[in-house]
Structure 1
Amino acid sequence: MFAAVIMLMLGTSCGFAAPVRIKDLVEFDGVRGNDLVGYGLVVGLNGTGDGIRNTPYTEDIMSNLLERLGVNVTGEQFRPKNVAAVFVTAELPPFSRAGSHIDVTVSAIGDAKSLLGGTLIMTPLTAADGQIYAVSQGAVIAGGASANADGASVVQGVPTSGTIPAGARIERELDFDFSSLRTLRLALRTPDFTTAGRIEQAVNHEFGKNVARMLDAGTVEIDVGATRARSPAHAIGQLENISIEPQQRARVVVDQRSGTIVMGDDVRISRVAVSQGNLTLRIREEPLVVQPNPFAAGQTIVVPRSSASIEEESGPGLAEIAEGTSLSEVIAGLNALGVSPRDMIDILKSIKAAGALHAEFVVR
């Protein structure tokens, strides 16, 4: 059974995009997060932890932790089933201050069956520079459930991964003096010369002077001093809510696994004729068993008997799509052929190969 085809008209009927705030189109230079990662232990599991024989590093870190707490386990043999080694990941937001909290994600790295009901022991989180910026600890909220029996088992979701809301406390702040910036760079998430030019014009109109300058398709530079704002933060607060009409390339996105097709309103097709039909190959095996007479000294043998045939459906014939056809007309024309979503994807590929589809074709 094929999935439904989704075709979205991105934009209004007149061909212009809806106004979008600058803050939704760009990233501000210096305003960015940083990834954090740590390695720790989740304890208190109900027998669903790591198998120590398969994950000896879990025993090593458990021994080191107990020794730091004053418990001597040298030479002792212990095989806990309620402990799991995990990676802890988080993102340090921009302008985070010491003492504030952030969410963390906890993921098992051994053969633990589930982290449900576990508690993460104090885990330092480091950034790419090797410095510790946060410390995480708390009860893990697992994202699924599992149950096992002698003859069957069931798993729903992903019980080996979970989150801890506000589970990490920031201990170190990023050394970045944002107020000292004399220029700001706006990095477009989707580089486009037309969009960058419109941002430049809109910002200059808002401030009444030339404070913005387009450097390339993905960068617009702002002169903070020319804005007469008290600080770069005040300048960003004033310009980030300015609305413009962004431009984007015509694009057709196809997901072959689900049979989903998404096309923008600016997709155009040159004059082309399309025909679609189905070719079916059938092979039938009907082996015949031949037995000898009751008093004969022969053997029972199997005689192969096969038949093969090819059937081709006539289809609706050729359908012409006129030059300069819009998205709505393309949809009506393809639907008139009565094709399935999978066949429609093949038709779009063929139209693109013929040079009649004037859009970027993205296959996922």
Structure 2
Amino acid sequence: MLCLLRLLALLLVPVALGSPALASAQEVSLRGLGRFDGWRENALIGYGLVTGLAGSGDTRRSAVTRQALRNVLNRLGTTVTDDQISSRNVAVVMVIGTLPASANVGDRIDVTVSSIGDARSLAGGTLLMTPMLGPDQHPYALAQGALVAGGYSFESDLNQQQRNYPTTAMLQGGATVETAVNATILRSDGQLSFLLSDPSFGTAQRIAETVNNRFGFGSAIAKSADEVKIRYAGDPAQLTNFLAQIEALSVRPDRAPRVVVNERTGTIVAGGDVMISSVAISQGDIKVTIKAENIASQPNFYSGFASDVRSLIVTNTKLDVDDSVGDTVVSFPNTTVSDLVQGLSRARVNTRRMISILQAIKTAGALHADIIVQ
């Protein structure tokens, strides 16, 4: 492990060479900062049946599958008993999708089909006509078509090969909208509400000021950190044009200082302006190695067979402790997470150790940002 004195020298190289100034925050259009209240997608769900499976469907133990198939055949004019249903080419599934905020009759949407029985695979199956219900239990779309599983599962003589998760499949454009929907954005009092995706009092105030500069004083007011009220007194037929002008406005948003770390993949993501105050770091490295060696002690006898004689397994353990030398306590001046990570990378410090250092700095109160661990 390199001592931190050398690490500090590497860290300060960009500063000595004159690192570029932190880039100022850029303006972003309102389209990327939030949405209008009332403009939202809606979840759809359905319960259906997949047929055409090559023996990979639900088994006879699934009473739900037999009942669903019997209901479908009864609606089609065929009466069958429970004992007459023994096919494994059928699977009962849940179908989910998302209805856009504005949709017309005949529009097509994507759906995801997932097995809820004991089917091994949905590959090659066909979804029968399935009503897609909204939260109000009304049907808004109908889903039907051939599935694309993106995987497979084959089994023969207790041998099995599987790729991905074939019990979930996609149906691209497989649902047809049957009930038109249109979001209501303008309230009866002539008010619009713009909702921020990332709440900030500063950003909300700047949005209100920008709207007032464009459409006149009193057109907008920042109600809270996540909502801006906008007044519209024009012709309702021109509302779309007004909303398009609002979305085209640009403001400089506040950016919350955050450091996102993913310990599983060893990823660190932080804004270039996340500051670290002066802090002293002591880095020590003690390496402990334990080696175990198993030796079989075989008893010696010259003739015959002794039933009460057994081999003896002897375990020899060796413990080595390597205490590194040259560990140093150094002080880091005010800097950014970007410069710190760059210096640690040049010193060949692995990402997981960087994460531990950042968490320790945060605990010491020198890292002025929230650490989000994924």
Q: Give the secondary-structure state (helix, strand or coil) at the position aligned to 2:245.
A: helix
Is the contact made by 2:101 and 2:182 (CA closer than 8 Å) also made in structure 1? no
TM-score (norm 1): 0.87
Secondary structure of 1:142 counterpart? coil
Q: Distance in 1 between matches of 2:184 and 2:296?
A: 88
Asked whether the 8 Å contact 1:255–1:261 carries over to 2, the reply is yes
Please give the alpha-carbon distance, in whole angstroms, between the structure 1 residues aligned to 2:202 and 2:177: 41
Report the number of matched residues. Answer: 350
What does residue 169 of structure 1 align with? 176
Q: Could you give the per-residue CA deviations for residues 134-169 of structure 1, whole angstroms, max 9, x where no partner exists?
A: 111111122223333436432222222122222112
Alignment partner for residue 116 of structure 2, among 100, 109, 122? 109
Quick one: which amino acid aligns to residue 17 of structure 1? A
For 2:201 and 2:114, locate their aligned partners in 1 and report how far apart those are by CA, in whole Å: 42
Deviates more, 1:64-73 or 1:171-180: 171-180
Which runs of 5 or more residues in structure 2 are unaligned? Answer: 1-19
In structure 2, the residue matched to 1:312 is 323
TM-score, reference length from structure 2: 0.85
Whether the 8 Å contact between 1:103 and 1:168 is mirrored in structure 2 is: yes
Is 2:359 the partner of 1:349?
yes
1:214-293 mapped onto 2 (5 Å cutoff): 214-225=222-233, 230-287=237-294
Which residue in the other structure is 1:9 paired with?
none
Contact 2:48 2:92 in 1 (8 A): yes
Q: Of 314, 321, 339, which aligns to 2:332? A: 321
- Equivalence for 1:46: 54
Identical pairs, percent: 40
**1:3 corresponds to:** none
1:1-364 alignment runs, 5 A limit? 13-53=21-61, 55-74=62-81, 76-150=83-157, 152-174=159-181, 177-178=184-185, 181=188, 182-225=190-233, 230-287=237-294, 294=301, 301-314=312-325, 317-323=328-334, 325-364=335-374
Conservation of the 8 A alpha-carbon contact between 2:36 and 2:185: no
Counterpart CA distance in 2 for 1:244 and 1:303 is 74
Deviation at 1:42, TM superposition (A): 0.7
SS in 2 for 1:159: coil
* More deviation, 80-89/301-310: 301-310
Q: Judge conservation of contact 1:319–1:337 (CA < 8 Å) in 2.
A: no
Q: Does the CA contact (< 8 Å) of 1:179 and 1:233 recur in 2?
A: no
Letter in 1 for 2:332: I
DSSP 3-state at the match of 1:308: strand
Distance 1:292 1:59 in 2: 65
Judging changes above 3 Å, is the alpha-carbon distance between structure 1 residues 31 and 290 closer, same or farther for their aligned structure 2 residues? closer
Give the Å deviation of 1:97.
Answer: 2.0
Match of 1:6 in 2: none
What's 2:10 paired with? none
* Alpha-carbon distance between aligned partners in 1 of 2:40 and 2:260, rounded to the nearest angstrom: 29
Structure 1: distance between partners of 2:53 and 2:201? 55
Q: Cα gap change, 1:331/1:63 in structure 2, threshold over 3 Å: closer, same or farther?
A: same
Q: Does structure 2 conserve the Cα–Cα contact (< 8 Å) formed by 1:276 and 1:315?
A: no
8 Å Cα contact 1:40-1:86 kept in structure 2: yes
Secondary structure of 1:198's counterpart equals helix
For residue 190 of structure 1, report the CA deviation from its aligned partner: 0.6
Deviation at 1:266, TM superposition (A): 2.0
Amino acid at match of 1:355: G
* CA RMSD across the alignment: 2.6
The alpha-carbon deviation at position 218 of structure 1 amounts to 0.4
List alignment gaps of at least 5 residues for structure 1.
Answer: 1-11
CA distance 1:40–1:75, change in 2 (3 Å):
closer
Alpha-carbon contact 2:271-2:338 (below 8 Å) kept: no
**Do 1:204 and 1:212's aligned partners in 2 also have CA atoms closer than 8 Å?**
yes
Q: 1:188 to 1:51 in 2, by over 3 A?
A: same
Q: Which residue of 1 aligns with 2:11?
A: none
Q: Cα gap change, 1:21/1:292 in structure 2, threshold over 3 Å: closer, same or farther?
A: closer
Take 2:299 and 2:129, find their aligned partners in 1: how far apart are those partners? Answer: 81
Higher mean alpha-carbon deviation, 325-334 vs 128-137, is at: 325-334
> What is the CA distance between 1:95 and its match in structure 2?
2.0
The structure-2 alpha-carbon separation of the partners of 1:290 and 1:26, relative to structure 1 and needing over 3 Å to count, comes to closer
Q: 1:334 to 1:275 in 2, by over 3 A?
A: farther
